[in-house]
């Protein structure tokens, strides 16, 4: 039985992380065009003064926010105490380290965890008491197609986003078996959505495929060299593939952000879908979702005769 959510018919305030380019910038512009207020954030606003001027010239606000900082949640506290209520939190900021799990340094792994898990979690925990008091709010976490099937060299990235489940799937592009650990946001947000639904607060995971953003060009590689045994392997090929800067994309970021905007607001594609918690976006995501469905169905085909036979004898 789905929960009935209500959205106030007024201007809503969005706080969006990672707004200097890509998804964050696109969503910021769409939200402002829709007549709502945006509090845009980035690690170094001084690097994009023209964007700061653009957003603030339309009634928005641009703040410095390093999601990796242990003090990052203070931005929520300061805004709320000053009377600026946050209606919608969008966790978008992040990056990816590409390297086989074996050679990743602990520093690299921890950096991924800070950006992709702990940083957003701090913001979520800070904003929830205020949303709960007002009995309205939407938390949207941006996930990745790697959540549904990760390729070699994406173990650190997938691990930073990993929740409860770890599976092995077949990569439809490279036709190789690859490590997948489900998104931590997918796992955490599923639980969060149940916990906050009674307070008219929604939690949405947007799972995005390959889009025309700067994600590929901003790829980070481990400082450790690739061992000789990996030369010629799929891990080696993936590193060369990503570093070439020629990774093909399937999606238009502006169309994707328009869809997210509508689902959050409850307009267009989002009409009547307020209780939905999982939004896959991108033509490549259709195959990935079906791959996961097939994987889970296969697990029961393979072990269904065992699954129900391990109960306590009564």
- The DSSP code sequence of 97-137 is EES-GGG--HHHHHHHHIIIIIHHHHHHHHHHHHHHHHT-E
Q: Cβ–Cβ contacts within 10 Å for residue 64, how many? A: 11
Q: Decide if 261 is catalytic.
A: no
Q: Which of 96, 143, 184, 222 is catalytic?
A: 143
Q: Are strands 177-183 and 162-170 parallel, antiparallel or unpaired?
A: antiparallel
Distance between CA atoms of residues 285 and 165, nearest Å: 19
Is 178 a residue of the active site?
Answer: no
Q: Are 38 and 32 in contact (CB under 8 A)?
A: yes
Contact 105, 222 (CB under 8 A): yes
Catalytic residue among 161, 253, 258, 261: 161
Whether 161 is catalytic: yes
Round to whole Å and give the CA distance between 236 and 58. Answer: 46
DSSP designation for 225:
P
Provide the CB-side half-sphere exposure for 115 (13 A, CA): 19
20 noted as active-site residue: yes
> Choosing from 117, 157, 230, 261, which is the catalytic residue?
157
Query: Which residues have CB under 8 Å from 290's CB, separation 6+?
Result: none
Which tokens go with 190?
Answer: 């599923």
As annotated, the active-site residues are: 20, 143, 157, 161
């Amino acid at each position: 039985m789905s929960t009935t959510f209500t959205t106030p018919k007024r201007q809503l305030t969005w706080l969006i992380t990672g707004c200097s380019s890509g998804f964050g910038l696109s969503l910021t512009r769409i939200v402002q065009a829709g007549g709502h207020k945006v509090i845009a954030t980035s690690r170094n606003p001084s690097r994009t003064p023209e964007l700061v001027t653009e957003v603030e010239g339309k009634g928005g606000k641009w703040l410095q926010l390093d999601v990796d900082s242990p003090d990052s949640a203070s931005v929520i506290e300061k805004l709320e105490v000053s009377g600026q209520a946050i209606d919608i939190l969008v966790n978008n900021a992040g990056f990816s380290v590409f390297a086989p799990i074996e050679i990743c340094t602990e520093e690299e792994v921890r950096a991924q965890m800070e950006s992709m898990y702990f940083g957003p979690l701090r913001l979520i925990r800070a904003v929830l008491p205020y949303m709960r008091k007002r009995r309205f709010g939407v938390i949207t976490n941006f996930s990745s197609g790697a959540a549904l099937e990760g390729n070699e060299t994406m173990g650190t990235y997938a691990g930073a986003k990993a929740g409860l489940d770890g599976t092995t799937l077949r990569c439809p592009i490279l036709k190789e078996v690859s490590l997948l650990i489900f998104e931590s946001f997918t796992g955490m947000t599923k639980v969060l959505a149940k916990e906050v639904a009674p307070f008219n607060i929604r939690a949405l995971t947007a799972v995005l495929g390959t889009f025309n953003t700067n994600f590929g060009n901003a790829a980070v590689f481990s400082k450790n060299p690739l061992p000789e045994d990996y030369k010629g392997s799929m891990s080696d090929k993936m590193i060369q593939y990503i570093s070439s800067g020629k990774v093909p994309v399937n999606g238009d970021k502006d169309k994707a952000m328009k869809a997210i905007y509508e689902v959050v607001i409850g307009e267009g594609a989002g009409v009547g879908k307020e209780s939905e918690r999982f939004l896959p976006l991108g033509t490549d995501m259709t195959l990935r979702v079906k791959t996961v469905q097939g994987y889970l169905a296969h697990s029961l085909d393979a072990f269904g005769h065992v699954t129900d036979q391990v109960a306590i004898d009564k």
